[in-house]
Amino acid sequence: MKISVVTAVYNRAATIGEALASVQNQTYGDVEHVIQDGGSTDGTLDIIKHFATPSTCLVSERDNGLYDAINRGIIRATGDVIGLMHSDDYFAHSEVLDRITKAFEDPDVDGVYGDLDYVSASDTNRVIREWRSGSYHPDLLRRGWMPPHPTLYLRRHVFEEWGLYDPGFQIAADYDAMLRYLWRGKIRLAYVPEVLVKMRVGGESNRSLGRIIQKSREDYRALRRNGVGGVSTLLSKNTSKLKQFIVKREKGVGF
C-alpha cells in the first residue's frame, strides 16, 4: 500500500524542516511526500530542496489559497491512501504510518484517524490542548463531533467519488469535506487510539477573534449544506473543545 503525504506550504522556513524530517523518519517504506509550494520567498524552497529525497515530489507555483494548494497536491498524489502534513505540524513518532496502514488492512475501512496534541509554537514539548477523538459513530456528527483533520487518511476513491476541498471556504473547507465524506458518503472509519500528530497553536482558524467568528459562520454553512444540523450542532461542536484544554501532567509535559 502506497501512502501519499501532501504538504501545502508558503513561507514556512521556520517549521518546514521539521515537517519534512517527520515524514522521512517514518519506518513505513512506501511513502511519497507531495509538496505543493505557493512560491515561497523566505528560504522555504531552499530547505525543501536541501532535504529532498527521491520520494519528495515538489512543485512550486502560485495558487489561490490553502485549499487550492491542497487540492493540487492531492491531484498529483499517486498513493492508494492520501493524508495531509501541514507545514507547521509533525508526526508524533516514527511509526505513525505503520499504525495507519495496519488499520487499512481491513478492506472495508475507507479512512483512518487518531488523536492530536496542540503544542506551543515556541516550545513544542509543552502541550496546550489534547484532542482525544474516541471511536466514530455517524450520530456523533449531529453533536458536533469530527476527527482531527491532520490525522485523517483516506483511500483515493473517497476523493474520486466525493470530491476535493471546496476553496469557496477560506477556513472550514476541511470540515465541509469531512461532513461530505462521512455524512453524505457514509464512508467507514477506523480509529487509532493514540496521538498521531502534533500541531503548533496559532493556525488559520484561531489567530484572531475575527477569524474565529468567520470559522463559526463557515462551520454553520458546512453543516447546513451537508444536511447534518444547525445552530445546536455548531454550539455542541464549539463547547466540546473546552475539555481539550484540561491537559494531563504526564512525563513532564503540560502546564
Task: Output the domain CATH number for residue 117.
Answer: 3.90.550.10
Q: Is residue 49 part of a domain?
A: yes
Grid cell at residue 108: 472495508
127 class by beta-carbon count within 10 Å (0-12 exposed, 13-18 middle, 19+ buried): buried
Q: Is residue 251 part of a domain?
A: no
Q: Is residue 253 part of a domain?
A: no
Q: Is residue 250 part of a domain?
A: no
pLDDT recorded at residue 210: 80
CB of 198 within 8 A of CB of 92?
Answer: yes
Binning pLDDT at 50, 70 and 90, where does residue 255 land? very low
Binning pLDDT at 50, 70 and 90, where does residue 237 land? confident
More confidently predicted of 247 and 87: 87
Q: How many domains does the chain have?
A: 1
**Residue 110: domain span:** 3-245
Q: Is residue 252 part of a domain?
A: no
- Amino acid type, 98: D
What pLDDT digit, counting tens, does each position of 9-40 carry? 999 999 999 999 999 999 999 999 999 999 99
CB of 195 within 8 A of CB of 117?
Answer: yes
Q: Is residue 10 part of a domain?
A: yes
pLDDT recorded at residue 58: 98
Q: Residue 224 to residues 114, 150, 167, 180, 229: CA-CA distances in angstroms?
A: 26, 23, 17, 11, 6
pLDDT at 243 over 80: no
Binning pLDDT at 50, 70 and 90, where does residue 253 land? very low
211 class by beta-carbon count within 10 Å (0-12 exposed, 13-18 middle, 19+ buried): middle
pLDDT over 90, % of the chain: 84
Q: Is residue 98 part of a domain?
A: yes
pLDDT at 223 over 60: yes
What pLDDT digit, counting tens, does each position of 136-161 carry? 999 999 999 999 999 999 999 999 99
pLDDT recorded at residue 208: 65
Q: Is residue 254 part of a domain?
A: no
